[in-house]
Amino acid sequence: MKASVVRVVEALNALGVEAEIIEFSQSTRTAEEAAAAVGAQVGQIVKSLVFLAGDQPVLALVSGANQASTAKLAQVCGAPIRRADADTVRSATGFSIGGVPPVGHAQSLPTYLDRDLLRFATIWAAAGTPNAVFSIAPHDLARIANAEVIDLAVEQSA
Ligand code: 5CA
């Protein structure tokens, strides 16, 4: 198990969650790949996205079926929102894009969880690398990530 995955296991354990980490030989870098690997709907995959609210890194935990609305984030954060670049993601979280987990970060980040994730009994999130994931109940993820549950999705035209 890679050191970055071990950090996620330890963070989950410290939060009282005994989540099983699954490491795949194939990529789970994107929500689509992760959904295919675990045999879940793409909506059940958690995208862990870092944005800057002004200068403050914030974390958005977004359903793989949704695009995160920067307008909604700006409203709830009260600051202009832009996507963090790869270096900022690494320094804020301690993980690289494609493996950023929802917990266990280098610093504590204000965190928002997409309410659409609550539709599912089980969801899957990255576990530190682009081929490791873990499953968790959405309410448990909201609790351990200390997340505010909000409407985060760009409205999709059906
Ligand atoms: N392991 C998967 C599923 S659990 C995963 O980590 N998905 S993710 O959505 O959380 O991470 C990929 C996301 O990183 C992309 O949706 C995109 O928003 C973001 N991203 C990809 N490339 C860049 C980049 N160059 N700069 C900033 N963000 C990026």
pLDDT above 70: residue 126: yes
Average of per-residue pLDDT across 91-108? 97
Q: What is the pLDDT of residue 155?
A: 86
Ligand 1 close to Cβ of residue 1 (< 6 A): no
Residue nearest to atom 22 of ligand 1 (CA): 97
pLDDT confidence band for 26 (50 / 70 / 90): very high
Tracing tokens 């266990």 back to the chain, one arrives at 104
The answer to whether 83 and 67 are in contact (CB under 8 A) is no
Ranges assigned E (strand) in the chain: 21-23, 45-53, 56-63, 81-83, 111-114, 123-126, 132-136, 148-150
Q: How far is the CA of 157 from the centre of ligand 1 (A)?
A: 23
Tracing tokens 């280098």 back to the chain, one arrives at 106
Q: Report the alpha-carbon distance of residue 104 to residue 146 in Å, rounded.
A: 12
Residue type at position 88: T
pLDDT digits (tens, 9 = 90+) for 53-94: 999 999 999 999 999 999 999 999 999 999 999 999 999 999
The pTM for the full model equals 0.97
In the chain, what are the domains? 3-150 (3.90.960.10)
pLDDT digits (tens, 9 = 90+) for 127-143: 999 999 999 999 999 99
Q: What is the pLDDT of residue 157?
A: 65
